Structure 1
């Protein structure tokens, strides 16, 4: 029989909320005559195989089991471990005598295999690899005792953890932590990929993520429309136009970066250099006059223009085809003049950093809505744009990005772990990037990337999707070569160029 375990690279592109996955499960059982206990056995075996692949010779396995199907999956893992003569203990948080149906059958299987089972109250410290089989997708509301205590004990044990379906305490729909949450080193999820695993707190709590379809009939997936699509760089690169042999610089647009107020010249320079490296035919910078000479000295390929006022910027706006507004812009009267003049044009725009804060303030643009701009807020900027708290944004990033797109139009990128892209009622997710990107200037490089892709003729949604994938995967390559600490935004530039040209 084919193994139900798939590798990380085979994660599905269709993402679902928990109720949809429950419907997929029911469809397989009720309409395709796949026995529930068979799916449970496949889930347990998939998890057990994934555990052994990660830790080939575990000294012991501790299963912490709850009620329902998640607990049943854990009992299957325990029984399989006993068959392999791996020392295994089950600590149950929910009384197994009250289990019903398939979960009860899985418990009886583990008991027949001689698995030692004790109430969780007798667990002093889990040993070996810990299997989190407590809550799964059935959790609604905050984690309550005794589950919260069990999660605290698991996290404090220092032992490696495998989470079944998703870490207990994590919201499958939003990626929000519902109080205490298991921090796993490996998570294996079943039937359908839950969108919350890939954004918010999800990436921090799941560790390595694997998917097992459990050999569910392919037909069941036609019954549910995925709520979100996971982006793949290879698919998006195919949509980048080929370059004709007789192409010239005018064929690939003119990106103008507007920003670099006093003390922030580097932000505008990084955005412009990224645009040039990503294929913009012409790249210019409109900045404070004092920054012209040092910028040209750093990157002579750029056209750097000193603009002391909005009036000085106005005639220059006839040249570019795309504007990138915000890197190093500041929030001074000069900054407001730059935004005001740029907004008068019909040019496509990328709005980042302080340009977003000025939009949120509402003074310069009283009715800020356009179809041809890309907004790129991080959670704090998103909160200002929505007049709410950052915690509220992070509590449901999918709802937040949809509200941003509805309120401001165009395409919205909500940055962070599991970056989201919303446009035209569609939401997509890029599960790329790493903690090394948590440093000033990363967003400026992304803005330049987006400007270059727009300048080369891509529509805003595709440019946003490709841009965030390029940006995150470039950072992943940089970290793979040199480590996560000390990553600088400009370190991404050679990797960005390689990825765009298909040489990595």
Structure 2
């Protein structure tokens, strides 16, 4: 089924604001990321899930990142379970870490992997193992930033798992193409994105750029929503968090936690979540830039997630 009106279709994923829903039913997300040097990225990703409308968000981070992230917001549940290389035998420590994280997974609807993760070998190893645990539960996964390095090194980790979204920028997209044998001179951006998705077995790809090209290997959507002209770092982290919220809502949609007609096909949920996430993030960036101009920073973009969401999905009700 072709998606001719993706925003209208994506609106079906959004849970109602209803007294019949209890805490957690409108989305529980976990962000795997954060290291001693990078604490802002997982915070921006995690808090964006809540600003979008998810109920709860966990951050699973490296031990030295836990304190700073906790200090940024008391709304986040922070678990500093990850450890750096060298403390113990790599395999022994990795297994201990992953088993501890696995205990959290039954409480989570969707997983975001990568913001601020760093390239520490043990953190990357643990993240790959966590992805495998999530796949066993058919959990939606958003992979961004350093998490994409895992896929570049081992495309088989996510190949064929259609309940996932990858969010490469220009350089990450090129490296993913190299890793999967997709030749960059074989066509226009939307054709390359489709080929990359097909090479990965139908994983949804967001090829970020002046326009975001979104594809699951079959359908291609182009998000032409205007963004801000100040490209401050951290906007990709916001996108990953907004995506996490929509993917968590996709779980509620499939389980019929709230009443709906169930017209969306399962393989379209990631595609629509990706389009909706790009639309909200780009509009929030534009609104922040209109207010602050060159002084726009990521923290200021956060304040415009809710009005952007309202403009795109709830203006009629308002």
Say if 2:300 is the partner of 1:491.
yes
1:39 is matched with which residue? none
Cα shift at 1:477: 1.5
1:397 corresponds to 2:219: no
Output the CA distance in 1 between the equivalents of 2:186 and 2:248. 32
**Aligned partner of residue 252 in structure 1, secondary structure:** coil
Contact 2:228/2:286 (CA < 8 Å) preserved in 1? no
The correspondence for 1:468, drawn from 262, 268, 278, is: 278
1:373 aligned onto 2:164: yes
1:443 aligned to which of 236, 249, 254: 236
> What stretches of structure 2 of length at least 5 have no aligned partner?
84-93, 254-268
Distance 1:433 1:420, change over 3 A: same
CA deviation after TM superposition for structure 1 residue 439, in Å = 2.5
Q: Quick one: distance in 2 between partners of 1:465 and 1:393?
A: 25
1:429 corresponds in structure 2 to 222
| Matched ranges for 1:280-295 at <5 A | 280-295=54-69
Deviation at 1:329, TM superposition (A): 1.3
Within the alignment, does 1:321 sit opposite 2:106 as a pair? no
Contact 1:445–1:490 (CA<8 Å) still a contact in 2?
no
- Pick from 346, 350, 361: which aligns with 2:153? 361
Matching of residues 82-93 of structure 1 within 5 Å:
none
Which position in structure 1 is the counterpart of 2:289?
479
Instruction: State the partner residue of 1:169.
Output: none
Q: CA deviation at 1:235?
A: 6.4
RMSD: 2.7
Contact 1:285 / 1:304 at 8 angstroms: preserved in 2? yes
Aligned partners of 1:393 and 1:348: how far apart in 2? Answer: 31
Q: Does 1:278 align with 2:52?
A: yes
Following TM superposition, by how much is the alpha carbon of 1:496 offset from its aligned partner in structure 2, in angstroms?
Answer: 1.1
Inter-CA distance 487–324: structure 2 relative to 1 (3 Å threshold) = same
The equivalent residue for 1:255 is: 29
Q: Which shifted more, 462-471 or 247-256? A: 247-256
Q: Which has the higher contact order (CA 8 A, sep 6+)?
A: 2
Aligned 1:25-424 pairs, distance under 5 A: 233=7, 236-237=10-11, 240-309=14-83, 310=94, 311-312=96-97, 313-333=101-121, 334-346=123-135, 347-362=139-154, 365=156, 368-387=159-178, 392=184, 396-408=188-200, 409-423=202-216
- Which stretches in structure 1 are left out of the alignment for 5+ residues? 1-225
CA distance in 2, matches of 1:247, 1:494: 26
Query: Distance in 1 between the 2:186 and 2:68 partners?
Result: 39
Shift of 1:314: 3.1
Alpha carbons of 1:394 and 1:445: their partners in 2 closer, same or farther (altered >3 Å)? farther
Q: Show CA shifts across 1:217-262 (max 9, x none).
A: xxxxxxxxx9x96x67566446533232221222112100000122
- Alpha carbons of 1:424 and 1:403: their partners in 2 closer, same or farther (altered >3 Å)? closer
Query: Do the aligned partners of 1:271 and 1:446 also contact (CA within 8 Å) in 2?
Result: yes
On the 8 A contact 2:60/2:82 being kept in 1, the answer is no
Deviation at 1:317, TM superposition (A): 2.7
Deviations 1:360-408 (A, max 9, x none): 1128x55633111011111211111110899937962111110121122
Deviations 1:9-55 (A, max 9, x none): xxxxxxxxxxxxxxxxxxxxxxxxxxxxxxxxxxxxxxxxxxxxxxx
Check the 8 A contact 1:258/1:287 in 2, yes or no.
Answer: yes
Query: 1-side partners of 2:158 and 2:63: how far apart?
Result: 31
Q: Give the drift of 1:478.
A: 1.6
| Structure 1 SS opposite 2:307 | helix
